[in-house]
């Protein structure tokens, strides 16, 4: 990328975000921070109304806009791929918004690019994971809106035992995982950070009360904090190599994996024994060793219940 292209790209970043930091731009464009400083001086000298604050970042003056920018074929294709991959795991409102956005993108493309995108669209599909929770309501859209606007949300949450509690939460992050969406939030009921699986949120609504997002850690910092404080445990599993991926996909994290001839030895970070056992029961049928004992007991309990239900149906 030459300097002219980089300056144009920086202008797009400035318009897309309320605040841009030189360090982040330097990392994105693989140049030094001093180079970004010189680029910003050139943008300012060209007449672009740019505000800069030492130690904070750069921002465009409110109300100043670039003319509409055309998308390249690659950019439009990347958006199509993102919508195709993400769509099956979204709720109705977001899935509808993705379809509307793609229609608008196609409408402004040239005829050659439109044909390219239509052929690509016909040839791409996404099959949702069997472990992914379905979201037929508007829960995710409500949580996303509360997160973006900095509003307290009121949720009814069903825990692992089936008990439902009403909570006021300050949404901090939404994570998409193989098994579905998870909300990280400050829970006023527990007076601590908690994680909530979207599939267990019975109802949700955004209140009119705003909260100060700056009081909470950044998402990456919060993930570290939640990993240290959430009720997780370490699981050790030895299984046929062909089954290892199923265990990895259901875990929070993979500490290590060691493969030998036809076997894999896994050390995983697991969040809930009952859910993990249900999600991997088929793969566990051929496992040679499962630790800790309470996880192995969970598999035995599920297998016993399954056999009992089959016998009852005979």
pLDDT single digits (tens) 42-54 = 888 888 888 877 7
User: If we measure between CA atoms, which residue out of 73, 83, 82 comes closest to residue 119?
Assistant: 73
Alpha helices in the chain (DSSP H): 3-16, 22-29, 33-45, 73-86, 92-108, 111-122, 139-149, 219-229, 244-250, 273-279, 281-284, 293-313
pLDDT confidence of residue 227: 63
Contact 174, 147 (CB under 8 A): yes
Give dist(CA 216, CA 94) in Å, integer: 26
Give dist(CA 292, CA 301) in Å, integer: 15
Q: The tokens 């859910």 sit on which residue?
A: 275
Give CATH for domain 3-60: 1.10.10.10
Helix 111-122 vs helix 73-86: crossing angle, to nearest 10? 30
What counts of helices (H) and strands (E) characterise the chain? 12, 11
What is the assigned CATH class of domain 233-313?
alpha beta
Query: For the chain, what are the domain ranges?
Result: 3-60, 73-122, 139-227, 233-313
Give dist(CA 102, CA 75) in Å, integer: 12
pLDDT confidence of residue 88: 61
Residues 6+ apart with CB under 8 A from 112: none
pLDDT confidence of residue 104: 74
pLDDT confidence of residue 182: 84
Within a 10 A sphere around the Cβ of 159, how many other Cβ atoms? 11
Give dist(CA 21, CA 1) in Å, integer: 20
Q: Mean pLDDT of residues grouped by 10 in the chain (314 residues)?
A: 81 79 88 89 84 80 66 76 68 74 73 76 64 63 91 89 88 79 89 86 94 89 70 89 86 84 90 85 91 92 82 59
Query: Is the CATH number of domain 139-227 2.30.30?
Result: yes
pTM of the model as a whole? 0.53
Q: The sheet that has 192-197: what strands, in order across it?
A: 192-197, 180-187, 164-177, 151-158, 201-210
């Amino acid at each position: 990328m030459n300097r002219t292209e980089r300056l144009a790209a920086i202008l797009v970043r400035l318009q897309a975000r309320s605040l841009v930091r030189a360090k982040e731009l330097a990392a994105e464009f693989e140049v030094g921070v001093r180079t970004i400083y010189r680029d910003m001086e050139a943008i300012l000298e060209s007449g672009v109304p740019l505000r800069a604050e030492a130690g904070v970042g750069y921002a465009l003056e409110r109300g100043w806009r670039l003319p509409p920018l055309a998308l390249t074929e690659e950019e439009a294709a990347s958006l199509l791929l993102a919508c195709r991959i993400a769509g099956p795991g979204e709720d109705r409102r977001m899935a509808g918004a993705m379809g509307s956005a793609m229609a608008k993108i196609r409408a402004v493309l040239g005829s050659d690019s439109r044909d390219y995108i239509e052929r690509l669209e016909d040839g791409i599909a996404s099959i949702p994971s069997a472990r992914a929770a379905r979201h037929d309501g508007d829960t995710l859209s409500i949580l996303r809106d509360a997160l973006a606007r900095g509003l307290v949300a009121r949720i009814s949450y069903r825990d692992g035992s089936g008990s439902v509690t009403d909570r006021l939460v300050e949404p901090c992050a939404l994570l998409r995982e193989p098994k579905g969406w998870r909300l990280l939030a400050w829970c006023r009921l527990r007076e601590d950070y908690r994680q909530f699986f979207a599939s267990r949120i019975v109802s949700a609504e955004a209140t009119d009360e705003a909260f100060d997002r700056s009081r909470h850690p950044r998402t990456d910092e919060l993930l570290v904090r939640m990993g240290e404080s959430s009720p997780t445990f370490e699981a050790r599993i030895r299984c046929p190599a062909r089954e290892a991926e199923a265990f990895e996909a259901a875990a929070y994290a993979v500490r290590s994996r060691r493969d030998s001839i036809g076997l894999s030895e896994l050390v995983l970070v697991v969040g809930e024994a009952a859910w993990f056992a249900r999600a991997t029961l088929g793969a566990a049928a051929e496992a040679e060793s499962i630790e800790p004992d309470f996880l192995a007991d969970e598999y035995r309990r599920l297998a016993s219940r399954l056999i009992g239900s089959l016998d009852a149906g005979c």
